[in-house]
Structures are given as C-alpha cells and as structure tokens.
Amino acid sequence: MKDAFFSSKRYQGLYEPVYRFREFGDLENYWIRLRYLCNRDDWQSVKGARGTPLDFDMLNEDGEKIFGDIPPEHLAALKARGYVLGGSSEPEAQGEDGSVVSVSETYVYAPDKTYTSYDTDIVPIWGLKDTDYQTQNPVVMGEGAGNVRQTQFYLNTIIHVQNASAFKTGDFVILHFTCEFGWNNGVSIEHWYDAWAESTPQRIVRIDGNYVELQSNAAFTTLDDKYTGYESHYIHDVARFFEVLNGGSLHPDYNLTLKPTSGYMLRAYSTRTMKKRESITREEVTFHTSFPDLSNSEIFIPQQETGTEYNDISRETTITPAQWKAKVEAGEWFIYAEPKVAYDAENGIYELRVKKTPCK
C-alpha cells in the first residue's frame, strides 16, 4: 500500500564522501553520495535530473539539515566546487512488500587541477640533423689559414678553434674561410676582391682542449659563384686545399691566390638517428563535465614542409634543430602517444589522460 510519507524523497542520515581521486593521492577532493527512501511507484517522478545542483539546505527524514553540522568555512569550500547530480542508482526494495525503495544519488564535479603520475615506456628519440649551422666557433687565425696541420700517422687535420666545448666527437663540421682574392704578378699582389673557401663535411674524431681533429677523407672545394669562370675554381684535395689557404696559388698558370682573413668551424649536422628507447614518462590526468578540448593534446611528430611525418628534426621539418635544442635545454616535455578520453556514463564525467616524455 502506498505510504503518503514516502511520496517525496526522505533522505537518510548524513552525506557519504566518495573518494574518486584517491588513486592520485587526493583525499581533499571528493564526490558526495546521499541516500533516500521513497515509494516505488513515486520513484520515476521524484528522482532528480542529471546536472541538478546540490541543495546544501536539504533535510533528512528527521527534519535536520544534512549539512548542518559542517563548519562554515568547510561548507563554503564545498559549495564553491559546484556539485551537480551525476547519477542515481537503481531502486532497491525495502521491507517485505517492497513498496518502499532505497536510492543513492552521487553529486559530482570536476576538480580544476591536473593529476600527474610517473612511469617508464618505450618512446621515440628523434633523429637530429643540425643543418641550420647554429653552432659555430671561430678558427684561431695565424699565418695563412693558421694552426692547420696533419697528424703523423693519419690523414686527419687538426684545427685550432677559440672554444671547442660546443662540439662533440661524432659531429660533422664544415670549415668556412673568408678570403681575399688576387693575382700575383711576381712582385706584388694586385686586384684584391672578396672570396671564400669552404670544405665538405668532416667528422670530428677527437677533441683536445680547443684543438679539434677532423677525419679528412673527403674532397675540399672553394665555392664562390663570382669566380666560376676560372679554371681553378675547385680544389679536390685536402692537402691542396690547405696549401692554397696558406699562401699557395690556385693555379700556377694564372698566379691566382687566396688569402684567408678569418675562419669558422660550423656544425653541419649531428649523427643521431631516430630510435626508440625506454624513458621516463608522466601521465597528466584531468576531469571535465563535457568532452574535453583536444586541440592542445595532439601527439608530437616532426613534419616536413608538406605536412608528412618525419623521423628527423632537420631544416626541412616544421620544428628546426635550434628550436628543438631550446626545448631540450628548457626541460620541456612532448606528447608521445595519442590522448585517451574515458567517459564515466554512470556519473557524466570525462577523464582525459595525456602521456608525455622529456624532449631529448
């Protein structure tokens, strides 16, 4: 028989905290569960709609305020969270005839914070081709090209630079010299013009202080379109290259000379290739009352100018080597896996998980 007393919700006792964020070590933020009794036949009409704000003035079946004994400052903090009804349980029959049912309501909210957990995972380590020549250091000039010599047992070249700390063994470098260009008439040099000479990339095999040893197994050449009409425009031998830069003539029939006035060693590109290694990761978790915006959660992959994916960070990619190095030095992290969104259908809350790993 229908009981008029239970034709509306009759809340039982006090509220119950639901520690939804316990897995992140957060017990300060919690959801609220309330339980009430009502007639089975009235349940459909009295149950609340999802999104209904929590009424902190509601009474229990004894006529006392459910939240009446909470200190004012704590009650104010609860009200500021913006609790709304997330979901209700299915009614459970009470008593022998089952005419009265018990229902629980869960009032939810999404904390305005990001939870972080750390782990390890197999992540991409991007290849780095430093083709922007951002790293460079002056060659210490002396007579001619200055301080250039070959080792006793290997066909390597030793270059003296002002500060070699920016380089490391395995780097490929280019030597660039600014030169004066002229004609030797046998008595004096006439007609000086601007010119420059540059080597092909050479690999650093040893660094001793500010002396850098290069593996000189490739041709060297002078490059200046202004003088392409001269027969001796190219120098294809490392010994000949430095001979010219130290006072030798470009070609004996023309008595043409180069006089270096300054020089730089520039890093052409690094030797690192794309690989995958196990690295530290962090997962950032946020909660939302509507589907989260994923525009700032896109997975990071270097792309060529055409928009295609690429395994190397180089001049052709949308992030340059210099920009990538700045991120590494700043200790930034990048998203290495597609973000995951889980929907808690029972309570109407979205959970967004984003995995990041340090830039390397």
243 has pLDDT over 80: no
Q: Looking at residue 198, what is its pLDDT?
A: 83
Q: Looking at residue 154, what is its pLDDT?
A: 65
269 has pLDDT over 60: yes
* 213: exposed, middle or buried (Cβ count in 10 Å: 0-12, 13-18, 19+): buried
Span of 55-64, 221-230, 288-297, 314-323 with lowest mean pLDDT: 221-230
Could you please report the per-residue DSSP string of 200-232? PPEEEEEEETTEEEEE--S-EEE--GGGTTSTT
Say which amino acid occupies 244: V
Q: Looking at residue 248, what is its pLDDT?
A: 72
Beta strands at 92-94 and 156-160: parallel, antiparallel or unpaired: unpaired
Q: What is the pTM of this model?
A: 0.71
**Tokens matching residue 21:** 């964020």
Mean pLDDT of 221-237: 57
Q: What is the distance, to the nearest Å, from the Cα of residue 250 to the centroid of all Cα atoms in its chain?
A: 49
Per-residue burial over 263-292, b if 16 or more Cβ lie within 10 Å, else e, is bbbbbbbbebeeeeeeeebebbbbbeeeeb
Mean pLDDT of 59-75: 92
- Using an 8 Å Cβ cutoff, are 196 and 139 in contact? no
108 has pLDDT over 70: yes
Q: Looking at residue 98, what is its pLDDT?
A: 85
**Tokens matching residue 164:** 């070699």
The torsion region of residue 186 among left (phi > 0), alpha (psi -120 to 50) and beta comes to left
- Using an 8 Å Cβ cutoff, are 3 and 85 in contact? no
Span of 120-124, 317-321, 335-339 with lowest mean pLDDT: 317-321
Per-residue model confidence as pLDDT tens digits over 139-175: 988 755 555 555 555 667 888 899 999 898 988 898 8
Span of 167-176, 219-228, 242-251 with lowest mean pLDDT: 219-228
